[in-house]
Each structure stands twice: as C-alpha cells, then as structure tokens.
Amino acid sequence: MSATENSTQEMRGHSRVEVSEVIRVINRQTGMELGRLVNISDEGFMLLGSQPVSEDNILQLSLEFESGENNTSPIQIGVESLWCHSSNDQTQYWSGFYIIDISDEDLERVRHLTG
C-alpha cells in the first residue's frame, strides 16, 4: 500500500469492502458512465474509469447493477469527488468519493453490499 493510500485509509471512518459484481457508476446529470465500482462503505467509494473525474465537485450518481439480486433499481446518491489518480499505465483513473446524500433505503442496500 502506498503512503497516499495509507493516509487515505487512516482518514476513513469505515473500512471499504470490495464489490464482487459489476456495478456501473453513472452521472445522472449527463447520463455518462464514469466507471465501475471497486469498493464501497457507508461513507464513500472508489471507482475505476477511463476518464479522469474532477476533484472537489458535487455529483448526482447512480450505481447500476448488471446482474444478481440487486438488479431491481439503481442506488441513487449525491457525492463529493475527493481525488483522482491515473493508473500505472495511465489508461485508466482511480477516483474517490464521499457520500453526502443517500436515502435510508439505498443506505440499507449499501450496507447489504458491505455485509
């Protein structure tokens, strides 16, 4: 784990859990896919995408499940983008988000994912 990842982990209130299914992260304002969910907690998540995400922005996102029992409806969340780093080969981007708005029902679904 790098020094940056370690310091980011220390700032988190909850440990993030890697997701095993494909969950697409969609910007609800533009309809564009930002990437795929990598891990998530009650407070935030990380995604891997093909385009960088600007830091310090407020976004309305949808977490859309491609298969499995959660295929019913997307999780709707409001987030703040905290950071974005390119991958080692600079073809993809890791981005971190803090959840600032989520319904009680969708929060329960996130908790089910982190189970």
Task: For residue 68, name the pLDDT band (cuts at 50, 70, 90).
Answer: low
Backbone phi and psi for residue 75, each to the nearest 5 degrees, phi listed first: -85, 125
Q: E strands within 1-115?
A: 17-18, 23-27, 33-40, 44-49, 58-65, 75-86, 93-102
pLDDT at 14: 57
What confidence tens digit (pLDDT) does each residue in 9-44 have?
444 455 778 988 899 999 999 999 999 999 999 999
**Comparing C-alpha atoms, which of 74, 1, 8, 73 is closest to residue 45?**
8
| pTM attached to this predicted model | 0.82
Q: Which domains does the chain have, with CATH numbers?
A: 3-106 (2.40.10.220)
